[in-house]
Amino acid sequence: QVQLVESGGGLVQAGGSLRLSCAASGRTYLTYTMGWFRQAPGKEREFVAAINRNGGSTYYTDSVKGRFTISRDNAQNTVYLRMNSLKPEDTAVYYCNAVPAVVGGTPLLDWGQGTQVTVSS
């Protein structure tokens, strides 16, 4: 079973940037489309972005289009989420997971611990 470890979160002012990382163990990582999710306090977990196995196809939810960029380095078994022009409403715990398709779907793996992103106004 692939294990996921997210990192890179922190406290940033509105308009700032962060880059999140998701390190995956196991060679089967290479076969997965990978996605980022987030969960704000009191809200359900939300699908944010995804990238297919070779990085040739990506998807973003409308609220982050033009501000977030998902990428992956298969040699390092790592998926990234570059977040620019951050807004207070981006505040959440961010998680990565494998998904059935680039447009989302039921996550396939156990959740990691996530990484907290807090955007101050």
Name the CA dihedral angle for 38, 41, 45, 50, rounded to a multiple of 10 degrees.
-10
> Residue 26: pLDDT above 90?
no
Give Dmax over CA atoms of the chain in angstroms.
41
Provide the 10 A C-beta neighbour count for residue 121: 9
pLDDT of residue 1: 78
Average pLDDT, whole number, for the chain? 95
- Buried-exposed string 8-24: b where 16+ CB fall within 10 A, e elsewhere: bbeebeeeeebebbbbb
> Residue 27: pLDDT above 80?
no
pLDDT of residue 118: 98
pLDDT of residue 113: 97
- Per residue in 37-95, pLDDT tens? 999 999 999 999 999 999 999 999 999 999 999 999 999 999 999 999 999 999 999 99
